[in-house]
Amino acid sequence: MACVWKYFKVLHSLLFTILVGSVSAHAEQTLNYGLHQNKPLNFKDDKGQVKGLVIDVFSHVAQQENWKINYQPCTWAECLARLENGEIDVLSAIGFTEKRSQIYDFTDTPIITNWGLAVTQPKSKINSLIDLSGKVVAVMKKAGHTRAFKEMLNRFRVEAVYLEVDSFKEVLEAVSKKRADAGVINRLFASQYSKKFKVKETSIIFNPIEIRYAFTKGKHKALVETLDRHLSDLHETERSVYYQSLERWFGKASGNEIAVWLKSVAIILAVVGIILLGLTLFFKFEAKKKSQALAEEIDDHTKTQQENESLFKAIVHSGPASLIISDAKTGRLIYANQRAKILFDIAFGEDETQYNMIQFFESNEQREELREILNKGGILRDREVMMKRCNGQVFWASVTANPMLFKGQDTFATSILDITERKAQVA
């Protein structure tokens, strides 16, 4: 009996050691996190505090999983290289592409949707890709938007001179100080810094892309799965840390609406750009090319246009953000997605083109004020106005709109969010 008791104590001691060791190892797990300056996604502020949407989310998961985060500042190019060779374990505010997925392990769940955007000096006449021919364009080294932008210009045979820098902030500095005629940054960064650097956001918008977390290839499979599980839960839970962070950094109540609105507008403008460039190149090449070569060019542009129009229909038409495209002169509706039809009580199957934006504003004075801003080339962002449905019901709306060419026509692209409940809560 004494012998059995002795073996029992030894076994108990071994089990205790294994359990304690396992818990300690889990508690002490340290992850080296590559930190580049990309506000409002991730950045270090003037007081040295690390902040941003992807930081808030990752810090929350790290606390739940007992991960210790060791932030390692690096330029974007350095971060990518360090992630690839394993010097850092994780990197975020990184756009997912199939090519990158061969180098890094990505989470399946995205954080937010972003896109590329060209900026210029306020008085610049650069409004399209063709206008960039022979111009100096500041771009960030190794950025996905830089690669996509160069490919886009090559595809349309527009030759520009590239000034490569280490950060989006340096891109804005180059444009602001007139070392470059234009610059390429991402839309979220532009929303934070365009006014500070006194640059103008153009209608050259491209490369809608999902922002995710990336890990060193083949080293952290369990961590990727764990993070994905948390991300999925956070996306599905109302008022989770994810949605609270979205509201903090972007001032929106719904992350899904933000992501769809961003992608919707990016794809709409991409379609517009391709249509206009296709027409421009048609006439440009007509004088220089033989009929066979010209036919090939037109066929290529037609295929690209069709692909983008398919994306437009798939994402915009069924998306949860209300989107209307209207004639800039008359206000007549040219397009309204399904969400907009529901919002304004347009009957199912009814042709939206018989309606006019004039009908949807409660105040003629407010409508004319917004129209005047857009007619002068301005952009509306989150303007709160009273609107009304076809049945006469009045509601509070947040309106975001830009002037743009759509199928060769001057139009206004308008996104409308019903904020009646939000206004009621504030009151």
- 177 or 29, which is more confident: 177
Q: Return the top range by mean pLDDT from 22-31, 232-241, 356-365.
A: 356-365
Most confident of 146-155, 173-182, 257-266, 382-391: 173-182
Please give the pLDDT value at position 267: 52
Give pLDDT, residue 177. Answer: 96
The set of residues, in sequence order, having a beta carbon less than 8 Å from that of 104 and lying 6+ positions away, is: 83, 84, 91, 94, 214, 215, 216, 217
What is the arithmetic mean of pLDDT over 367-390? Answer: 85
Find tokens 């001691």 and name the residue.
13
Give the span between the Cα atoms of 359 and 410, in whole angstroms. Answer: 20
For 29-111+211-255, the fitting CATH number among 3.40.190.10, 2.40.50.100, 3.40.1010.10, 3.40.50.1390 is 3.40.190.10
pLDDT at 336: 87
Task: Decide if domain 321-427 falls under CATH 3.30.450.20.
Answer: yes
Q: Which whole-number Å values give the CA distances from 112 to 41, 54, 144, 208, 243, in the listed order?
A: 9, 9, 16, 11, 11
378 has pLDDT over 90 = no
Q: What is the pLDDT of residues 216-273, one digit of tens each?
A: 999 999 999 999 999 999 988 878 898 888 888 876 444 444 444 444 555 555 555 5
User: Can you give the pLDDT at residue 402?
Assistant: 82
User: Does this model's pTM top 0.75?
Assistant: no
Spatial separation of the C-alpha atoms in residues 343 and 239, rounded to whole Å: 24
Q: Is the pLDDT of residue 44 over 50?
A: yes
Return the number of other C-beta atoms located less than 10 Å from residue 133's C-beta: 12
Better-predicted residue by pLDDT, 53 or 13: 53
Residues 170-192: what's their mean pLDDT? 94
Q: What is the pLDDT of residues 313-345, one digit of tens each?
A: 444 554 456 789 899 889 999 988 877 888 898
Q: In the CATH hierarchy, which fold is given to the domain comprising 114-210?
A: D-Maltodextrin-Binding Protein; domain 2 (3.40.190)
Strands, E assignment, 263-408: 322-327, 333-336, 380-388, 394-406
What percentage of the chain reaches a pLDDT higher than 90?
40
Instruction: Please tell me which residue, 138 or 412, carries the higher pLDDT value.
Output: 138
